[in-house]
Amino acid sequence: MADHPAPQAVETGDDYIHVRYRDPDEFETIRTPEWADEVSDTVSEGSEVRTGKRADSDDWAVQSVLVDKHVGEETAREQADRIVAKIED
């Protein structure tokens, strides 16, 4: 299994728990692609994945995962870790 980044921050907002893996300032572009949403929904229905592209690379990396806040921060972090593993493996 590949090494994945540890969450840098876990914050609860109005609708989602935002699990941030990488600083958004690292990226030139950030998107919420549909294909990543489909992957994340297999772990946590209604979750979203934000991916970022750095200026010096064509590769996209997970910037953050948003999980429905009703699951709680601990579960959101666990689900987000599983989502990142599925996407970045």
Structural domain includes residue 2? no
Structural domain includes residue 81? yes
Domains contained in the chain, number: 1
Given this model, what pLDDT does residue 4 score?
A: 81
Given this model, what pLDDT does residue 89 score?
A: 80
Task: Please give the Cα distance from 24 to 54 (Å, whole number).
Answer: 10
Phi, psi of 63 (to 5 degrees): -95, -45
Structural domain includes residue 1? no
Domain that holds residue 31: 9-88
Given this model, what pLDDT does residue 74 score?
A: 96
Given this model, what pLDDT does residue 70 score?
A: 94
Residues 20-74: pLDDT tens digits?
Answer: 999 999 999 999 999 999 999 999 999 999 999 998 999 899 999 999 999 999 9
2, 10, 37 from 62: Cα distances, Å: 14, 15, 12
Helices (H), 1-89: 34-41, 73-88
Residue count of the chain, please give it.
Answer: 89
Residue 53 · residue 22 · CB < 8 Å: no
pTM here is 0.92
Structural domain includes residue 4? no
